[in-house]
Structure 1
Amino acid sequence: MFLAWKEIRYAKLRYGLIVGIMVLVAYVVFMLSGLANGLADGNRTAIDDWQASAIILSEDSNKIANASQLHKSDMDRVTAKEKAGVGIYSTAVEKKNGGEKTNVSIFGTVNDSFVVPKVIKGRLYKTNGEAIVSENLLSEGYKLNQSIKVNDLKLKIVGVTKETTYTLAPVIYLNPSIFKTLKYGSQPTESDPINLIATKGKTSISNQKDQSKLEKMTPETFIENIPGYTPEKLTLNTMIYFLFVVVAAIIGIFMYVITLQKTSIFGVMKAQGVSTGYLARSILAQTFLVGIIGVAVAIVLSVLTSLALPSAMPFAVHRSDWGVYSVILVLVAMIGGLFSMRTVTKVDPVTAIGGE
């Protein structure tokens, strides 16, 4: 480590360029990770907030909530410690006096069900003309006790919950009857339509021949089947994995070139009794230092960038993910340094110092 650090300090420009490349690649990794996590959280946060044990949809829905057509009476076929029927509707709201519309996800359920989040301002909804909204909707210019328009209906914001999203949109909770009107209009429909049943505790289902079959799944399975969730996450994560390969290749090429330039120096050191193992460990130590410095700088830059990003851009810092990626980046940098090991082991002291 001593020799590695001394050489880095002596050739600041040379190793500074390698560190700079490491910073740029690591910076892209952390930014892509933040965007991937931001998109994932934007799709799933509201469901995670429920802390449900299981989600139940109609079997023919292909695990997609909007395609699941259930009725409140289907809850009688489900046995669980707690259960809640939820209707889901994606639409847009606007202020009573007009203005730009804001996309929202509406959850229709009774106000005493376990899926309804705790109100941090105001109170729970009671009548059909009332609703509670997630705090992130307020950043769009809405406020407590304000009247809003959803389709052609007027609602009053009577409560605010903590910030949450579903399918990248702020969430509104309201009564099932007003949900029915919003989604199906005033046309006659079967009573109390819902899209899913969320449960807590051990859950069992009674499927009968004369009724539509119900399908139980974990919340994670339900989330993974949200349209766009898995493809978005897989695409961005694949880009991150390719960047790991890029790091190994770039660091390997740079260290190999530098090692070739130092062949004569290694020959002299071997002639003086310095072991090949010591020289090899020195090269690995250099790549380790390059990786550590590059990753540390990239993390600082990524955090500062996240503070400057607009609120409309989904970005989330997951420390555990960044910790794993930091370790991987340092490891692949060291793997890149291994490309130079053969050059070091093959150095002949006599040949390297110009002998015959």
Structure 2
Amino acid sequence: MILAWKEIKKNKARFIILGFIIFLVSFLTFMISGLSNGLSKDNASLIKDLPDGHFYMNADAEENYLASKIDKKIEGNVLAENKQASVLAIQMGFINDDQDKQHSVAFVAAAHSPFFEEVGKGEVILDRSLKDEGVKIGDKVKNKQYSKELIVKGFADHKKFSHAPAAFIHREDYKEIFKGTEMQLIFIPELVEAPSITGLQSFTNDEFLSTIPSYSAEQMSLNMISWFLIVISGMLFTIFFYMMNVQKIGLYGILKAIGMKTRSLFVMMWSQMMIITLASLGISVLLSQALETVAPEGLPFYLPAKTSFQFSLVFIAVGFIGATLSGIQIKKVEPLKAIQQGEG
């Protein structure tokens, strides 16, 4: 450790440049991860806030909840056998407020459920984001397919689907708006193993989210960018320490000649890697957590400390692997040849 620190002080510029690059890469990774988590909540908080369980949709729907229709007999049997089960339907649509301003919403009709807002006929509960747009409790909102008006009875916190605020309506109102009598999904919470139900296909919460095209495509793209940046950081460590080791072949030969073991040389290199990585990651984590605090309300950014810690461990592991790969040449150094090469 002492030798490692002395070399860092001697070659400050090189190690500061490496640390700055690692800081930029890790900070960008944390930013993208926070954006990914934020978009995930903004896209599907309606589903993500539910307890672990299983969703069921019609097997003929081919994993498309919009095409799913639950037969009423099957619905009745499932609700009779599972007291915690609930049925629901989700459809995208529009409402017009009392100023005739149009808002895109995700209409949600649910029954027999403590996990979804249940309202009376002719009423609606909206996601709180619509309150910020001027909608108030007691307002009457309209939909072109609905013959009457819906009265706003309240607001729900962080209930969105496909980036649209949820609008919870009564099952009968849903039938009138969308001209259908069947619900689309059955949700049964706290199931370790999903029982087989004839005609229905089961999905865990995460599996159901992956069937939503906008959600899976969005998350896959952002996750690929994050992991690509982590791979880049590993390559940076490998290239940097490789170049450093090439320049220090003569020094390694002298150190080996006076009795220093190869393991000690690796420890010196690993110590340098840890010092640079921890310093860079420390600054990145602090700035990314501060960003979550000061981020504008409309920015979908969410970065829990657990995620930052997990990514930090990955960066350290990647840095360790990169430094180790670059140091393979140290093991092959022969003292006499290395000293002669250094003198040349």
**TM-score normalized by the length of structure 2:** 0.86
- Aligned partner of 1:330 in structure 2 is 316
Question: Where does residue 107 of structure 2 map in the other structure?
Answer: 106
Distance 1:239 1:206 in 2: 39
Distance across 2 between alignment mates of 1:50 and 1:246: 36
The change in CA–CA distance for 1:150 and 1:8 in structure 2 (over 3 A counts) is: farther
Backbone CA RMSD of aligned residues: 2.7
User: Partner residue of 1:120?
Assistant: none
**Residue type matched to 1:255 in 2?**
F
State whether residues 145 and 178 of structure 2, in contact with CA within 8 Å, keep that contact through their aligned partners in structure 1.
no
Give the distance between the partners of 1:278 and 1:82, measured in 2 at CA.
61
Give unmatched runs, 5+ long, in structure 2: none
Counterpart selection for 2:142 from 135, 140, 149:
149
Number of the residue aligned with 2:300: 314
Cα distance, 1:268 vs structure 2: 4.2
The 5 Å alignment of 1:8-27 reads 8-27=8-27
Distance 1:271 1:199, change over 3 A: closer
Task: Provide, for residues 156-207 of structure 1, a one-character-per-residue CA deviation record: whole Å limited to 9, x for no partner.
Answer: 22122222222222212111111122223xxxx5xx3311122246675664
2:209 matched residue in structure 1: 223
What is the rounded CA distance, in whole Å, between the counterparts of 2:196 and 2:254 in structure 1?
78
SS of residue in 1 equivalent to 2:327? helix
Cα distance in 1, alignment partners of residues 103 and 9 from structure 2: 55
**Which residue pairs with 1:348 in the alignment?**
335
Q: What's the counterpart of residue 167 of structure 1?
A: 162
Q: Equivalent of 2:119, from 122, 125, 137?
A: 125
CA contact (8 A) 2:127 2:165 kept: yes
SS of the residue 1:194 aligns to? coil
C-alpha displacement of 1:283: 0.9
Structure 1 residue ranges without an equivalent (≥5): 118-123, 208-212
Alignment of 1:89-104 (within 5 A): 89-99=91-101, 101-104=102-105
SS of the residue aligned with 1:197?
A: strand
CA gap of 1:83–1:279, structure 2 versus 1, over 3 A, is closer
What is the alpha-carbon distance in structure 1 between the residues aligned to residue 195 and residue 274 of structure 2? Answer: 53
| Distance apart, 1:132 and its partner CA | 1.2
Contact 1:287 1:334 in 2 (8 A): yes
Report matched runs for 1:32-51 at 5 Å: 32-51=32-51
Percent identity over the alignment is: 24
- What corresponds to 1:240 in structure 2? 226
Q: CA deviation at 1:284?
A: 1.2
How many residue pairs get matched? 335
Alignment-mate amino acid for residue 288 of structure 2: S
Q: Taking structure 1 as the reference length, what is the TM-score of the superposition?
A: 0.83
Cα deviation for residue 30 of structure 1 reads: 1.4
